Amino acid sequence: MSTRLAEYYIFNYSKCSIDESFLASWKGLVYPSHAFQVIGLPLQLITFWFILKKTPENMKSIKGPLCSLLDAQFCSISTPYMFFPSFAFFTIGTLNWTGMSMIVQMGLLVFTLICKFETTCISLVYLFESRSSSIPENRFKIARTSTRIVYYFLIYLFATPSCFLVIQIPENQEDALLESLKIIPCPTREFFTEQVVVALSDPFLIKVILIIGIPVLGTFIFFHIFFHVASCIYYLYISPSNLTSSRTRKIQKSFFIGILIQTGIPIVILAAPYIIMATALLLDRLSQGLTNSVMIIFGIHGILESVCIILVHRSYRQGFLKILGEHRAKT
């Protein structure tokens, strides 16, 4: 601990009312996260194998997006203990065992999460766009490969500014930590006892990201998803064409409903905690226990995604039931 941080701890922090609950501690974050990953990692590996080996021909186009939605980052590789709403944190995960410095871990974590975020956004749009464009009667379908490349490139460009967060990492971490204490004057004791690093210390930029950046980007992606969902609903249910056979339309409806369920549940799981957290922040009721709870929920996103992929799509569901049947037969 630096001299200035030590002075703050002695003269200012002693006056704080600290959340000493188990959930607010690093153990309250890491134990549930790693426990979920013990369950989730085998399930995610099985799901990944199903996507590669059990995907039928009529679903080949969405193999990549399905794989990109699988995620184990938060649970085991580098679990972030966030001091929200500041961007100060330390990690508790597999990378800590390697002796890698926290600054390197921070850069790797931020870069990985940004890439993952952009890939997930594009994959979600692609899942619905591919379903929408597979309907021959859809006048809004993307038929040309060049048009599709331009379309997704523009979506990628819209999300690219988030990459500049990596450039904004403060060089003087001591000053950045003291700036963070202006935002959260009474953090948990881990702020002073662990190797905390700051990814972003500018209060104005933090507000821009939380209040404007994330909602605008979320609305942008939601608009594209909503447009393709609306197109599917219109051409499959409201105004179906007589030129398409009933069997083909049934298959199209089945795929559409499957993707809707598969993506809808995880999106709600991710959006609900963010809304709760933002509301708590606006009402000045945000606590470290709530922040850790949100991080745990974010961590099980990949598990829920795997469960949805297996249960929703018939080929994966049958493959999973076959494995269970063979296991029961052996036992």
pTM of this prediction exceeds 0.85? no
Whether the predicted pLDDT of 73 surpasses 60: no
Question: CA–CA separation, 211 vs 231, rounded Å?
Answer: 30
- Residue-wise pLDDT tens digits, 244-269: 778 878 878 887 888 888 778 777 87
In whole angstroms, what is the distance from residue 194 CA to residue 317 CA? 44
Assigned CATH for 21-330: 1.20.1070.10
- Sorted by sequence, the CB contacts under 8 Å of residue 28 that are 6+ apart come out as 21, 22, 289, 292
**Cα–Cα distances in Å, from 115 out to 26, 87, 105, 109, 248?**
26, 18, 15, 10, 36
Q: What is the mean pLDDT of the chain?
A: 79
Residue of 29, 115, 28, 116 whose CA lies nearest to 76 = 29
Non-local CB neighbours of 11 within 8 Å, separated by 6+ positions: none
Domain ranges of the chain: 21-330
Instruction: State what percent of residues in the chain have pLDDT above 90.
Output: 3
Could you read off the pLDDT of 85-112 as tens digits, one per residue? Answer: 888 888 877 666 666 777 777 777 777 7
In the predicted model, what is the mean pLDDT of residues 66-72? 51
pLDDT for the residue numbered 65:
52
Q: Residue 77 — very low, low, confident or very high, per pLDDT cuts 50/70/90?
A: low
Three-state DSSP class for 165?
helix
pLDDT single digits (tens) 25-65:
988 988 888 888 787 778 778 877 877 777 766 565 555 55
In this predicted structure, the answer to whether residue 200 has a pLDDT above a threshold of 80 is no
Q: Which of 83-87, 211-215, 319-323 has the highest mean pLDDT?
A: 83-87
| Residue 70 in this model has a pLDDT that exceeds 60 | no
Are the beta carbons of 134 and 60 closer than 8 angstroms?
Answer: no
What pLDDT is recorded for position 150? 92
Q: Is the per-residue pLDDT at 234 higher than 80?
A: yes
* Confidence grade of residue 230 (pLDDT, cut at 50, 70, 90): very high
Going by pLDDT thresholds of 50, 70 and 90, the confidence category of residue 312 is: confident
Residue range 115-171, pLDDT digits in tens: 777 777 787 888 888 888 888 888 888 888 899 899 988 888 877 765 565 556 777
For residues 81 and 90, the answer to whether their CB atoms sit within 8 Å is yes
Angstrom distances, CA of residue 233 to CA of 55, 228, 229, 256, 264: 24, 9, 6, 9, 15
Inter-residue contact 73 to 116 (CB < 8 Å):
yes
Are 134 and 253 in contact by the 8 Å Cβ rule? The answer is: no
Amino acid 72: pLDDT: 52
Which band of pLDDT confidence, cut at 50, 70 and 90, is reported for residue 1? Answer: low
Q: Is the dihedral of CA 241, 246, 252, 257 positive or negative?
A: positive
